């Protein structure tokens, strides 16, 4: 039987990647840093996936195992597994790289047959390339040659919402996920891979599609909802004003994507965007505005989910008023429990909006002026409503 080692035993690890690997016939072991979670999985060797869509679906997943990350058993599994996947958060890939470097060294020394597939399934751009860099940084010349010949590091884009467990989970190991998912991998298809993977020659357009039409629209809804005193994304999409704003944001962003990437038809992007709005409005998925809006400084950066689609739509010669308003609402985001939001408001007060937009968003010219105008107009509307 094929063997898979998945790093990260959270909802995405067990309820998405590990589950698809198990369905494809792999013997799956989860590696994690939480002892109680590892012990629970190792003892029960099963869990349930609770899918929330039009209907609730409960699916048992049996015959799994778990180990603590970094232990001898974890290293041995890294040496002997056919597929290695992660869902740990990009900041924690260094610990995974340590295990993989030693595991691949042992695989090389043992002369084990077969190639290894490595895919980092993180919410970050080209996370597998970053993991690959960290593994190679720990490799000597002979191991690097082995990696070049026998290990395929494949970049991926993943998308699945893991809602709050409350009201759905009944057992400790229950995983709660939305029914929709997407797992796009750059490269030629691998025999025996999970059926749920979409294989593409160039991941770049798909990364931008998700960043602009999912993450960008999510942020646009959250920041406007915050200004209107709305607590959840579902409630935000039920507000006609916010829903129309999100639709306009996606329309402008989709036009920019279609202009930039010839492989994307505008009609297909519009259908994708509509599906995203349906996901956001899913009554089973309780997603708080404070979570989606967290860290506005990062989300306002050049190339990120707000400024990225703004630049793409502008390059296509399109109207960008909805995206400019989304940027403006992000600049007005205030949350005392969010360090980045506090810092953003401090900088706005100390430096002024013009300098912040230049330095944080990297904007100049007409787009700079458009965002400043949108910011001032939105701020005035807020004053008038008080």
- Helix segments in the chain, DSSP class H: 11-12, 18-23, 35-44, 72-80, 93-110, 127-136, 141-150, 204-210, 217-227, 233-238, 240-260, 266-280, 289-293, 296-299, 307-315, 321-331, 339-351, 353-356, 365-385
How is residue 52 annotated by DSSP? Answer: E
The Cα–Cα gap between 322 and 311 comes to 13
| 6 annotated to a ligand binding site | yes
HSE-up of 24 (CA within 13 Å, CB side)? 21
Q: Is 340 annotated as a binding residue?
A: no
User: Distance (Å, rounded) from C-alpha 356 to C-alpha 377?
Assistant: 17
- Record the tokens describing residue 150, joined without a space: 């026998």
Q: Provide the 10 A C-beta neighbour count for residue 64.
A: 25
Is 370 annotated as belonging to a binding site? no
Answer for the pair 312, 259: CB distance below 8 angstroms, yes or no: yes
- 18 annotated to bind ligand: no
> Is 10 known as a binding-site position?
yes
12 carries a ligand binding annotation: yes
Burial class from Cβ neighbours inside 10 Å (0-12, 13-18, 19+) for residue 306 reads: buried
The answer to whether 9 is a known ligand-binding residue is yes
- What does R_g of the chain's alpha carbons equal in angstroms? 22
Is residue 93 a contact partner of residue 131, using CB atoms and an 8 Å limit? yes
CB contact set of 330 (below 8 Å; sequence gap of 6+): 219, 223, 293, 296, 299, 300, 306
Residue 11 is assigned to a ligand binding site: yes
- The sign one gets for the Cα dihedral 126, 128, 132, 134 is positive
Is 114 one of the annotated binding-site residues? no
Does the annotation place 15 within a ligand binding site?
yes
Binding residues for NAD(+): 4-15
Annotated binding residues, written as ranges, equal 4-15
């Amino acid at each position: 039987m094929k063997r898979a080692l998945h790093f990260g035993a959270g909802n995405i690890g067990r309820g998405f990647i590990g589950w698809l690997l198990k369905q494809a016939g792999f013997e799956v072991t989860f590696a994690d840093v939480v002892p109680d979670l590892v012990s629970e999985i190792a003892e029960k060797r099963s869990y349930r996936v609770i899918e929330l869509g039009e209907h609730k679906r409960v699916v048992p997943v049996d015959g799994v195992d778990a180990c603590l990350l970094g232990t001898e058993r974890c290293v041995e599994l890294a040496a002997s597994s056919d597929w290695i996947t992660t869902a740990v958060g990009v900041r924690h890939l260094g610990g995974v790289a340590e295990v993989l470097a030693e595991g691949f060294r042992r695989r090389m020394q043992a002369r084990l047959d077969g190639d290894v597939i490595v895919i980092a399934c993180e919410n970050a751009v080209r996370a597998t390339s970053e993991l690959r860099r960290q593994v190679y940084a720990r490799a000597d010349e002979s191991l690097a040659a082995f990696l070049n010949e026998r290990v395929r590091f494949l970049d991926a884009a993943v998308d699945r919402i893991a809602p709050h467990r409350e009201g759905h989970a009944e057992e400790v190991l229950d995983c709660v996920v939305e029914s929709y998912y997407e797992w796009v991998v750059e490269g030629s298809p691998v025999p025996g891979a999970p059926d749920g993977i979409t294989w593409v020659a160039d991941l770049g357009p798909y990364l931008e599609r998700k960043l602009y039409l999912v993450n960008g629209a999510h942020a646009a809804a959250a920041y406007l909802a915050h200004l209107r005193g709305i607590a959840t994304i579902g409630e935000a999409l039920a507000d006609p004003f916010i829903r129309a704003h999100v639709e306009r944001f996606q329309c402008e962003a989709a036009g920019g994507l279609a202009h930039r990437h010839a492989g994307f038809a505008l009609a297909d992007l519009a259908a994708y965007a509509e599906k995203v709005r349906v996901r956001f409005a899913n009554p089973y998925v309780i997603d708080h505005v404070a979570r989606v809006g967290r860290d506005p400084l990062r989300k306002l950066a050049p190339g990120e989910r707000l400024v990225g689609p703004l630049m793409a739509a502008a390059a296509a010669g399109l109207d960008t008023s909805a995206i400019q308003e989304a940027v403006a609402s992000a600049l007005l985001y205030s949350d005392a429990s969010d360090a980045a939001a506090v810092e953003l408001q401090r900088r706005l007060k100390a430096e002024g909006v013009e300098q912040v937009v230049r330095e944080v968003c990297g904007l100049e010219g007409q787009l700079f002026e458009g965002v400043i105008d949108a910011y001032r107009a939105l701020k005035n509307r807020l004053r008038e409503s008080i």
